[in-house]
Structure 1
Amino acid sequence: MSSKTNYSYIGIAFIILVFGILFVPKIVDRIKNDDVSRSDRISNMPDNNFSNKDKLMFLEIDGEAKKVPEFSFTNQDGKTITNKDYLGKVYIVEFFFTTCPTICPIMSQNLVQIQDRFKSIDGLGMASFSINPSHDTPEVLKAYAEKYGITNPNWNLMTGDREAIYRLANLGFNLYAAENDAVAGGFEHSGNFALIDKNGFIRSRADQYGNPKIYYRGTITEAEKYDDDGEEEEISMLKEDIKKLLNE
Protein backbone atom coordinates (compact mmCIF):
# COMPACT_ATOMS: atom_id res chain seq x y z
CA MET A 1 0.00 0.00 0.00
CA SER A 2 1.45 3.39 -0.98
CA SER A 3 2.18 6.14 1.53
CA LYS A 4 -0.29 8.36 -0.36
CA THR A 5 -3.05 5.88 0.37
CA ASN A 6 -2.03 5.75 4.02
CA TYR A 7 -2.27 9.53 4.25
CA SER A 8 -5.77 9.38 2.75
CA TYR A 9 -6.93 6.92 5.37
CA ILE A 10 -5.36 9.01 8.12
CA GLY A 11 -7.17 12.09 6.79
CA ILE A 12 -10.55 10.34 6.72
CA ALA A 13 -10.03 8.97 10.23
CA PHE A 14 -9.16 12.47 11.47
CA ILE A 15 -12.36 13.91 9.98
CA ILE A 16 -14.46 11.18 11.61
CA LEU A 17 -12.75 11.81 14.96
CA VAL A 18 -13.43 15.57 14.78
CA PHE A 19 -17.09 14.94 13.85
CA GLY A 20 -17.48 12.63 16.83
CA ILE A 21 -15.91 15.12 19.24
CA LEU A 22 -18.04 18.03 18.02
CA PHE A 23 -21.43 16.52 17.25
CA VAL A 24 -22.02 13.22 19.05
CA PRO A 25 -22.18 14.82 22.55
CA LYS A 26 -24.78 17.28 21.25
CA ILE A 27 -26.90 14.46 19.82
CA VAL A 28 -26.66 12.49 23.08
CA ASP A 29 -27.63 15.56 25.12
CA ARG A 30 -30.59 16.19 22.82
CA ILE A 31 -31.85 12.64 23.35
CA LYS A 32 -31.27 12.79 27.13
CA ASN A 33 -33.17 16.05 27.37
CA ASP A 34 -35.98 14.66 25.18
CA ASP A 35 -35.29 17.54 22.81
CA VAL A 36 -36.32 15.53 19.79
CA SER A 37 -39.19 17.56 18.46
CA ARG A 38 -42.62 16.17 17.75
CA SER A 39 -42.18 16.90 14.05
CA ASP A 40 -38.90 14.95 14.05
CA ARG A 41 -40.62 11.88 15.46
CA ILE A 42 -43.59 12.12 13.11
CA SER A 43 -41.39 12.58 10.05
CA ASN A 44 -39.52 9.40 10.91
CA MET A 45 -42.69 7.33 10.89
CA PRO A 46 -43.28 5.18 7.79
CA ASP A 47 -45.77 6.03 5.07
CA ASN A 48 -45.90 9.74 5.79
CA ASN A 49 -45.64 11.06 2.25
CA PHE A 50 -49.25 11.99 1.58
CA SER A 51 -50.53 13.74 -1.52
CA ASN A 52 -53.40 16.21 -1.59
CA LYS A 53 -55.77 13.46 -2.73
CA ASP A 54 -55.00 11.62 0.50
CA LYS A 55 -56.11 14.49 2.73
CA LEU A 56 -59.03 13.70 4.98
CA MET A 57 -62.47 15.16 4.44
CA PHE A 58 -64.45 17.39 6.78
CA LEU A 59 -67.92 16.42 7.87
CA GLU A 60 -70.04 19.30 6.57
CA ILE A 61 -73.55 20.18 7.73
CA ASP A 62 -75.36 22.96 5.86
CA GLY A 63 -72.09 23.82 4.18
CA GLU A 64 -70.13 24.23 7.41
CA ALA A 65 -67.46 21.90 8.75
CA LYS A 66 -68.67 20.27 11.96
CA LYS A 67 -66.63 20.92 15.09
CA VAL A 68 -66.69 19.05 18.38
CA PRO A 69 -69.32 20.65 20.66
CA GLU A 70 -68.19 22.23 23.89
CA PHE A 71 -68.03 19.82 26.82
CA SER A 72 -66.79 19.76 30.40
CA PHE A 73 -66.48 16.55 32.42
CA THR A 74 -64.34 14.94 35.14
CA ASN A 75 -61.60 12.49 34.22
CA GLN A 76 -60.12 9.47 36.00
CA ASP A 77 -57.79 11.73 38.01
CA GLY A 78 -60.61 13.95 39.23
CA LYS A 79 -59.60 16.81 36.91
CA THR A 80 -62.02 18.88 34.85
CA ILE A 81 -61.44 18.27 31.14
CA THR A 82 -63.01 20.36 28.37
CA ASN A 83 -62.86 20.33 24.59
CA LYS A 84 -60.29 23.12 24.81
CA ASP A 85 -57.81 20.75 26.46
CA TYR A 86 -57.64 18.86 23.15
CA LEU A 87 -56.96 21.82 20.88
CA GLY A 88 -53.66 21.31 19.09
CA LYS A 89 -53.98 17.54 19.40
CA VAL A 90 -55.35 14.82 17.15
CA TYR A 91 -57.70 12.63 19.15
CA ILE A 92 -60.20 9.79 19.04
CA VAL A 93 -63.66 9.95 20.62
CA GLU A 94 -65.60 6.94 21.94
CA PHE A 95 -68.57 6.29 24.21
CA PHE A 96 -68.35 3.30 26.55
CA PHE A 97 -69.00 2.05 30.10
CA THR A 98 -66.73 0.08 32.38
CA THR A 99 -69.13 -2.82 33.06
CA CYS A 100 -69.89 -3.39 29.37
CA PRO A 101 -69.79 -7.15 28.70
CA THR A 102 -69.78 -6.99 24.91
CA ILE A 103 -68.03 -4.49 22.63
CA CYS A 104 -66.30 -2.12 25.07
CA PRO A 105 -63.40 -4.45 25.94
CA ILE A 106 -62.60 -4.84 22.24
CA MET A 107 -62.83 -1.10 21.66
CA SER A 108 -60.56 -0.42 24.63
CA GLN A 109 -58.00 -2.97 23.44
CA ASN A 110 -58.00 -1.40 19.98
CA LEU A 111 -57.42 2.07 21.44
CA VAL A 112 -54.62 0.77 23.65
CA GLN A 113 -53.00 -0.73 20.56
CA ILE A 114 -53.22 2.66 18.86
CA GLN A 115 -51.84 4.31 22.00
CA ASP A 116 -48.84 1.98 21.94
CA ARG A 117 -48.31 2.46 18.20
CA PHE A 118 -48.00 6.22 18.70
CA LYS A 119 -46.43 6.19 22.16
CA SER A 120 -43.59 8.51 21.13
CA ILE A 121 -46.02 11.14 19.79
CA ASP A 122 -47.24 13.67 22.35
CA GLY A 123 -49.84 15.12 19.96
CA LEU A 124 -52.27 12.19 20.09
CA GLY A 125 -55.08 11.80 22.63
CA MET A 126 -58.28 9.88 23.33
CA ALA A 127 -61.58 11.01 24.85
CA SER A 128 -63.66 8.19 26.36
CA PHE A 129 -67.04 9.24 27.72
CA SER A 130 -68.90 6.90 30.09
CA ILE A 131 -72.61 6.44 29.37
CA ASN A 132 -73.07 5.05 32.89
CA PRO A 133 -71.71 7.98 34.88
CA SER A 134 -73.53 7.12 38.12
CA HIS A 135 -71.44 3.96 38.38
CA ASP A 136 -68.31 5.11 36.56
CA THR A 137 -66.84 7.47 39.13
CA PRO A 138 -63.28 8.80 38.73
CA GLU A 139 -62.08 5.99 41.01
CA VAL A 140 -63.78 3.34 38.86
CA LEU A 141 -62.40 4.91 35.69
CA LYS A 142 -58.91 5.01 37.22
CA ALA A 143 -59.08 1.28 37.96
CA TYR A 144 -60.31 0.64 34.40
CA ALA A 145 -57.39 2.63 32.99
CA GLU A 146 -54.93 0.58 35.03
CA LYS A 147 -56.59 -2.68 34.01
CA TYR A 148 -56.22 -1.94 30.29
CA GLY A 149 -52.78 -0.36 30.43
CA ILE A 150 -53.87 3.18 29.58
CA THR A 151 -50.76 5.34 29.92
CA ASN A 152 -51.21 8.14 27.39
CA PRO A 153 -51.43 11.38 29.45
CA ASN A 154 -53.84 12.76 26.84
CA TRP A 155 -56.29 9.87 27.26
CA ASN A 156 -59.14 11.03 29.48
CA LEU A 157 -61.87 8.66 30.65
CA MET A 158 -64.68 11.01 31.60
CA THR A 159 -67.78 11.02 33.75
CA GLY A 160 -70.29 13.69 34.70
CA ASP A 161 -73.83 14.81 34.11
CA ARG A 162 -75.77 11.98 32.48
CA GLU A 163 -77.96 14.17 30.27
CA ALA A 164 -74.95 16.17 29.06
CA ILE A 165 -73.11 12.97 28.08
CA TYR A 166 -76.09 11.55 26.22
CA ARG A 167 -76.65 14.86 24.46
CA LEU A 168 -72.98 14.92 23.43
CA ALA A 169 -73.20 11.36 22.10
CA ASN A 170 -76.52 11.49 20.26
CA LEU A 171 -76.60 15.10 19.08
CA GLY A 172 -72.99 16.26 19.23
CA PHE A 173 -71.44 13.26 17.51
CA ASN A 174 -74.45 11.22 16.34
CA LEU A 175 -72.84 8.25 18.05
CA TYR A 176 -75.81 6.36 19.45
CA ALA A 177 -76.03 5.80 23.21
CA ALA A 178 -79.03 4.73 25.28
CA GLU A 179 -80.04 2.94 28.44
CA ASN A 180 -81.78 -0.35 27.67
CA ASP A 181 -82.57 -2.95 30.31
CA ALA A 182 -83.24 -5.54 27.61
CA VAL A 183 -79.61 -5.73 26.45
CA ALA A 184 -76.53 -7.15 28.14
CA GLY A 185 -75.09 -4.66 30.58
CA GLY A 186 -78.18 -2.45 30.54
CA PHE A 187 -76.81 0.04 28.01
CA GLU A 188 -76.26 0.10 24.27
CA HIS A 189 -74.05 2.35 22.18
CA SER A 190 -72.24 2.75 18.92
CA GLY A 191 -69.08 0.75 18.40
CA ASN A 192 -67.56 3.46 16.23
CA PHE A 193 -64.73 5.90 16.82
CA ALA A 194 -64.72 9.54 15.72
CA LEU A 195 -61.43 11.13 14.63
CA ILE A 196 -60.83 14.79 15.49
CA ASP A 197 -58.15 17.07 14.07
CA LYS A 198 -55.97 19.63 15.88
CA ASN A 199 -58.57 22.37 15.41
CA GLY A 200 -61.48 20.35 16.76
CA PHE A 201 -63.06 19.33 13.45
CA ILE A 202 -64.45 15.85 12.79
CA ARG A 203 -62.45 14.29 9.94
CA SER A 204 -62.45 11.08 7.93
CA ARG A 205 -61.48 9.66 4.57
CA ALA A 206 -63.93 9.40 1.69
CA ASP A 207 -66.00 6.34 0.92
CA GLN A 208 -66.33 4.78 -2.54
CA TYR A 209 -68.88 7.43 -3.50
CA GLY A 210 -66.73 10.39 -2.49
CA ASN A 211 -68.61 11.10 0.74
CA PRO A 212 -66.95 11.22 4.18
CA LYS A 213 -67.04 7.88 6.01
CA ILE A 214 -67.41 9.93 9.20
CA TYR A 215 -66.61 7.12 11.65
CA TYR A 216 -64.24 4.18 12.09
CA ARG A 217 -65.37 0.72 13.13
CA GLY A 218 -63.89 0.01 16.57
CA THR A 219 -65.26 -3.46 17.32
CA ILE A 220 -62.98 -5.55 15.11
CA THR A 221 -59.25 -6.00 15.71
CA GLU A 222 -56.58 -5.85 13.03
CA ALA A 223 -55.75 -9.49 13.72
CA GLU A 224 -59.34 -10.59 13.13
CA LYS A 225 -59.58 -8.79 9.78
CA TYR A 226 -63.34 -9.49 9.51
CA ASP A 227 -66.15 -10.16 11.94
CA ASP A 228 -68.80 -12.89 11.67
CA ASP A 229 -70.95 -10.65 9.47
CA GLY A 230 -68.13 -10.04 6.99
CA GLU A 231 -67.49 -6.46 8.14
CA GLU A 232 -63.86 -5.44 7.69
CA GLU A 233 -61.66 -4.03 10.45
CA GLU A 234 -60.88 -0.31 10.24
CA ILE A 235 -58.20 0.07 12.91
CA SER A 236 -55.42 -0.04 10.32
CA MET A 237 -57.28 2.63 8.36
CA LEU A 238 -57.63 4.74 11.52
CA LYS A 239 -53.89 4.50 12.20
CA GLU A 240 -53.10 5.73 8.69
CA ASP A 241 -55.49 8.65 9.04
CA ILE A 242 -54.09 9.62 12.44
CA LYS A 243 -50.69 9.97 10.81
CA LYS A 244 -52.18 12.20 8.12
CA LEU A 245 -53.68 14.56 10.69
CA LEU A 246 -50.50 14.58 12.78
CA ASN A 247 -48.66 15.78 9.70
CA GLU A 248 -51.08 18.60 8.89
Structure 2
Amino acid sequence: MKNKSYIGISFIILVFGILVIPKIIDRIKNDDIVKADRLNIEGTKTTNKSDLLTIGKAPKFSLTDQDNKNISNQTYAGKVYLVEFFFTTCPTICPIMNKNMKIIQEKFATNSNFGIASISINPENDTSEVLKKHAEDIGAKGINWHFLTGRETNIFEIANKGFNLYAGKNSKVAGGFEHSGLIALIDKNGNIRSRKDDFGNPIVYYDGLEQKGINQLKQDITKLLAE
Protein backbone atom coordinates (compact mmCIF):
# COMPACT_ATOMS: atom_id res chain seq x y z
CA MET A 1 0.00 0.00 0.00
CA LYS A 2 2.84 2.37 0.84
CA ASN A 3 4.46 1.74 -2.52
CA LYS A 4 1.18 2.54 -4.26
CA SER A 5 0.90 5.81 -2.26
CA TYR A 6 4.43 6.79 -3.22
CA ILE A 7 3.67 6.03 -6.86
CA GLY A 8 0.49 8.14 -6.69
CA ILE A 9 2.26 11.11 -5.12
CA SER A 10 5.10 10.84 -7.63
CA PHE A 11 2.59 10.82 -10.47
CA ILE A 12 0.87 13.98 -9.16
CA ILE A 13 4.23 15.78 -8.82
CA LEU A 14 5.18 14.72 -12.36
CA VAL A 15 1.90 16.03 -13.82
CA PHE A 16 2.29 19.30 -11.87
CA GLY A 17 5.78 19.74 -13.28
CA ILE A 18 4.68 19.08 -16.84
CA LEU A 19 1.67 21.42 -16.72
CA VAL A 20 2.67 24.27 -14.43
CA ILE A 21 6.44 24.79 -14.48
CA PRO A 22 6.67 25.67 -18.22
CA LYS A 23 3.99 28.34 -17.68
CA ILE A 24 5.91 29.83 -14.77
CA ILE A 25 9.10 29.89 -16.84
CA ASP A 26 7.27 31.65 -19.71
CA ARG A 27 5.87 34.29 -17.35
CA ILE A 28 9.32 34.94 -15.91
CA LYS A 29 10.76 35.34 -19.42
CA ASN A 30 7.97 37.76 -20.34
CA ASP A 31 8.23 39.73 -17.07
CA ASP A 32 4.56 38.90 -16.50
CA ILE A 33 4.63 37.57 -12.95
CA VAL A 34 2.42 40.22 -11.34
CA LYS A 35 0.39 41.61 -14.24
CA ALA A 36 -3.34 42.18 -13.73
CA ASP A 37 -5.99 43.31 -16.21
CA ARG A 38 -5.65 46.91 -17.37
CA LEU A 39 -3.59 48.28 -14.52
CA ASN A 40 -1.08 46.38 -12.40
CA ILE A 41 -3.19 46.75 -9.26
CA GLU A 42 -2.42 43.23 -7.99
CA GLY A 43 1.27 43.88 -8.45
CA THR A 44 1.50 47.14 -6.53
CA LYS A 45 4.84 47.75 -4.93
CA THR A 46 6.52 50.42 -2.86
CA THR A 47 9.50 52.17 -4.39
CA ASN A 48 12.79 52.58 -2.55
CA LYS A 49 12.56 56.37 -2.52
CA SER A 50 9.10 56.87 -1.00
CA ASP A 51 6.27 54.96 0.61
CA LEU A 52 4.01 55.47 -2.43
CA LEU A 53 2.81 52.48 -4.41
CA THR A 54 3.45 52.01 -8.12
CA ILE A 55 0.15 50.92 -9.70
CA GLY A 56 1.29 50.57 -13.32
CA LYS A 57 2.18 52.56 -16.43
CA ALA A 58 -0.10 55.45 -17.38
CA PRO A 59 -1.66 54.99 -20.84
CA LYS A 60 -0.25 56.81 -23.84
CA PHE A 61 -2.28 59.70 -25.25
CA SER A 62 -1.96 62.38 -27.92
CA LEU A 63 -4.47 65.25 -27.80
CA THR A 64 -4.82 68.97 -28.58
CA ASP A 65 -4.68 71.69 -25.92
CA GLN A 66 -6.30 75.10 -25.48
CA ASP A 67 -3.57 76.71 -27.60
CA ASN A 68 -4.16 74.22 -30.43
CA LYS A 69 -0.86 72.46 -29.68
CA ASN A 70 -0.35 68.72 -29.70
CA ILE A 71 0.14 67.40 -26.17
CA SER A 72 1.02 63.79 -25.40
CA ASN A 73 2.16 61.76 -22.42
CA GLN A 74 5.70 62.48 -23.66
CA THR A 75 5.06 66.19 -23.06
CA TYR A 76 4.98 65.31 -19.36
CA ALA A 77 8.09 63.09 -19.44
CA GLY A 78 10.27 63.89 -16.42
CA LYS A 79 7.38 65.68 -14.72
CA VAL A 80 4.95 64.81 -11.94
CA TYR A 81 1.43 65.43 -13.21
CA LEU A 82 -2.26 64.92 -12.55
CA VAL A 83 -4.95 63.66 -14.93
CA GLU A 84 -8.61 64.61 -14.55
CA PHE A 85 -11.60 64.08 -16.87
CA PHE A 86 -14.18 66.87 -17.08
CA PHE A 87 -16.21 68.99 -19.53
CA THR A 88 -16.77 72.73 -19.60
CA THR A 89 -20.58 72.67 -19.45
CA CYS A 90 -20.68 70.26 -16.50
CA PRO A 91 -23.17 71.59 -13.92
CA THR A 92 -22.17 69.29 -11.07
CA ILE A 93 -18.71 68.03 -10.03
CA CYS A 94 -16.43 69.57 -12.69
CA PRO A 95 -16.37 73.10 -11.24
CA ILE A 96 -15.31 71.61 -7.89
CA MET A 97 -12.58 69.53 -9.52
CA ASN A 98 -11.28 72.48 -11.54
CA LYS A 99 -11.24 74.65 -8.42
CA ASN A 100 -9.26 72.04 -6.54
CA MET A 101 -6.84 71.63 -9.45
CA LYS A 102 -6.29 75.39 -9.35
CA ILE A 103 -5.47 75.18 -5.62
CA ILE A 104 -2.91 72.46 -6.31
CA GLN A 105 -1.47 74.31 -9.31
CA GLU A 106 -0.98 77.44 -7.20
CA LYS A 107 0.92 75.46 -4.58
CA PHE A 108 3.40 74.16 -7.17
CA ALA A 109 3.31 77.16 -9.51
CA THR A 110 7.05 77.78 -9.30
CA ASN A 111 7.99 74.17 -10.05
CA SER A 112 8.39 73.52 -13.78
CA ASN A 113 8.42 69.77 -13.10
CA PHE A 114 4.73 69.74 -12.17
CA GLY A 115 1.78 69.69 -14.57
CA ILE A 116 -1.92 68.94 -15.02
CA ALA A 117 -3.79 67.29 -17.89
CA SER A 118 -7.50 68.20 -17.85
CA ILE A 119 -9.13 66.05 -20.54
CA SER A 120 -12.59 66.97 -21.83
CA ILE A 121 -15.07 64.12 -22.34
CA ASN A 122 -17.25 66.37 -24.54
CA PRO A 123 -14.85 67.24 -27.37
CA GLU A 124 -17.68 68.05 -29.79
CA ASN A 125 -18.37 71.17 -27.74
CA ASP A 126 -15.01 71.63 -26.05
CA THR A 127 -12.83 72.80 -28.91
CA SER A 128 -9.45 74.42 -28.31
CA GLU A 129 -11.11 77.82 -28.42
CA VAL A 130 -13.74 76.84 -25.86
CA LEU A 131 -11.10 75.31 -23.60
CA LYS A 132 -8.94 78.44 -23.82
CA LYS A 133 -11.85 80.62 -22.69
CA HIS A 134 -12.67 78.13 -19.93
CA ALA A 135 -9.08 78.23 -18.66
CA GLU A 136 -9.20 82.03 -18.63
CA ASP A 137 -12.58 82.10 -16.90
CA ILE A 138 -11.44 79.89 -14.01
CA GLY A 139 -8.06 81.59 -13.74
CA ALA A 140 -6.06 78.49 -14.65
CA LYS A 141 -2.38 79.31 -15.04
CA GLY A 142 0.84 77.39 -15.40
CA ILE A 143 2.77 76.44 -18.54
CA ASN A 144 2.22 72.75 -17.83
CA TRP A 145 -1.55 72.90 -17.26
CA HIS A 146 -3.13 71.72 -20.51
CA PHE A 147 -6.86 71.48 -21.21
CA LEU A 148 -7.17 68.74 -23.80
CA THR A 149 -9.57 67.76 -26.55
CA GLY A 150 -9.59 65.22 -29.37
CA ARG A 151 -11.70 62.43 -30.85
CA GLU A 152 -14.47 61.28 -28.52
CA THR A 153 -13.81 57.57 -29.04
CA ASN A 154 -10.13 58.07 -28.30
CA ILE A 155 -10.82 60.04 -25.13
CA PHE A 156 -13.31 57.47 -23.82
CA GLU A 157 -10.74 54.75 -24.51
CA ILE A 158 -8.08 56.67 -22.57
CA ALA A 159 -10.48 57.09 -19.65
CA ASN A 160 -12.21 53.71 -19.56
CA LYS A 161 -9.54 51.32 -20.79
CA GLY A 162 -6.36 53.27 -20.16
CA PHE A 163 -6.94 54.69 -16.69
CA ASN A 164 -10.00 52.57 -15.84
CA LEU A 165 -11.77 55.78 -14.79
CA TYR A 166 -15.36 55.73 -16.04
CA ALA A 167 -16.52 58.38 -18.51
CA GLY A 168 -19.48 58.22 -20.87
CA LYS A 169 -22.66 59.75 -22.23
CA ASN A 170 -25.90 59.61 -20.27
CA SER A 171 -28.87 61.67 -21.41
CA LYS A 172 -30.59 61.09 -18.07
CA VAL A 173 -28.03 63.02 -15.99
CA ALA A 174 -27.42 66.76 -15.79
CA GLY A 175 -25.10 67.86 -18.57
CA GLY A 176 -25.53 64.67 -20.62
CA PHE A 177 -22.25 63.08 -19.50
CA GLU A 178 -21.11 61.25 -16.40
CA HIS A 179 -17.62 60.57 -15.12
CA SER A 180 -15.57 59.86 -12.06
CA GLY A 181 -14.49 62.61 -9.70
CA LEU A 182 -11.18 60.84 -9.18
CA ILE A 183 -7.72 62.07 -10.13
CA ALA A 184 -4.70 60.10 -11.30
CA LEU A 185 -1.21 60.94 -10.01
CA ILE A 186 1.65 60.20 -12.43
CA ASP A 187 5.34 60.26 -11.53
CA LYS A 188 8.35 61.44 -13.57
CA ASN A 189 8.72 58.01 -15.16
CA GLY A 190 5.11 57.79 -16.36
CA ASN A 191 3.90 55.49 -13.58
CA ILE A 192 0.55 55.82 -11.84
CA ARG A 193 1.26 56.20 -8.14
CA SER A 194 -0.90 56.08 -5.02
CA ARG A 195 -0.91 55.65 -1.27
CA LYS A 196 -2.67 53.08 0.91
CA ASP A 197 -5.97 53.66 2.66
CA ASP A 198 -6.55 53.21 6.39
CA PHE A 199 -6.92 49.45 5.86
CA GLY A 200 -3.66 49.04 3.96
CA ASN A 201 -5.22 48.80 0.49
CA PRO A 202 -4.04 50.94 -2.47
CA ILE A 203 -6.45 53.80 -3.13
CA VAL A 204 -5.24 53.83 -6.78
CA TYR A 205 -6.84 57.23 -7.48
CA TYR A 206 -7.37 60.34 -5.38
CA ASP A 207 -10.68 62.02 -4.49
CA GLY A 208 -10.83 65.22 -6.52
CA LEU A 209 -13.87 66.56 -4.66
CA GLU A 210 -13.07 66.27 -0.97
CA GLN A 211 -10.44 68.25 0.93
CA LYS A 212 -8.91 65.05 2.25
CA GLY A 213 -8.06 63.91 -1.26
CA ILE A 214 -6.59 67.28 -2.21
CA ASN A 215 -4.42 67.34 0.91
CA GLN A 216 -3.20 63.82 0.12
CA LEU A 217 -2.34 64.89 -3.42
CA LYS A 218 -0.34 67.89 -2.25
CA GLN A 219 1.63 65.69 0.14
CA ASP A 220 2.30 62.98 -2.42
CA ILE A 221 3.17 65.37 -5.25
CA THR A 222 5.80 66.85 -2.94
CA LYS A 223 7.24 63.37 -2.34
CA LEU A 224 7.40 62.54 -6.03
CA LEU A 225 8.98 65.86 -6.98
CA ALA A 226 11.75 65.08 -4.51
CA GLU A 227 12.51 61.68 -6.09
Normalised to the residue count of structure 1, the TM-score between the two structures is 0.71
Aligned residues: CA RMSD: 1.4
Q: Between the two proteins, what is the percent identity of the paired residues? A: 57
Structure 1: segments with no counterpart, 5+ residues: 1-50, 60-65, 223-232
Structure 2: segments with no counterpart, 5+ residues: 1-46
SS at 1:58 equivalent: strand
1:56 aligned partner, one-letter code: L
Taking the TM superposition and a 5 Å limit, the aligned residue runs for 1:17-32 are: none
Q: CA deviation at 1:160?
A: 0.5
Aligned to 1:164: 154
SS at 1:184 equivalent: coil
1:68 aligned partner, one-letter code: A
CA distance in 2, matches of 1:123, 1:150: 17
Taking the TM superposition and a 5 Å limit, the aligned residue runs for 1:82-161 are: 82-161=72-151
Q: CA deviation at 1:68?
A: 1.3
Aligned to 2:218: 239
CA distance in 2, matches of 1:120, 1:79: 23
Q: CA deviation at 1:101?
A: 0.2
Q: CA deviation at 1:120?
A: 1.2
Aligned to 1:63: none
Structure showing greater Rg: 1
Taking the TM superposition and a 5 Å limit, the aligned residue runs for 1:190-205 are: 190-205=180-195
1:112-131 Cα offsets, whole Å, 9 max, x none, are 00011111111100001100
Normalised to the residue count of structure 2, the TM-score between the two structures is 0.77
Q: CA deviation at 1:211?
A: 2.7
1:71-90 Cα offsets, whole Å, 9 max, x none, are 11100000011110101000
Aligned to 1:188: 178
Aligned to 1:56: 52
SS at 2:193 equivalent: strand
- Contact 1:93 / 1:128 at 8 angstroms: preserved in 2? yes
Q: CA deviation at 1:52?
A: 6.0
- Contact 1:58 / 1:212 at 8 angstroms: preserved in 2? no
Q: CA deviation at 1:53?
A: 8.7
CA distance in 1, matches of 2:92, 2:54: 31
Aligned to 1:210: 200
CA distance in 1, matches of 2:188, 2:173: 36
The number of residue pairs the alignment matches comes to: 181
2:141 aligned partner, one-letter code: T
Q: CA deviation at 1:158?
A: 0.5
Q: CA deviation at 1:54?
A: 4.9
- Contact 1:56 / 1:204 at 8 angstroms: preserved in 2? yes
Q: CA deviation at 1:234?
A: 1.1
CA distance in 1, matches of 2:49, 2:144: 30
Following TM superposition, where does structure 1 have runs of at least 4 consecutive aligned residues deviating by more than 3 angstroms?
A: 51-54
SS at 2:115 equivalent: strand
Distance 1:141 1:210, change over 3 A: same
Aligned to 2:67: 77
CA distance in 1, matches of 2:49, 2:105: 27
CA distance in 2, matches of 1:187, 1:96: 9
Aligned to 1:68: 58
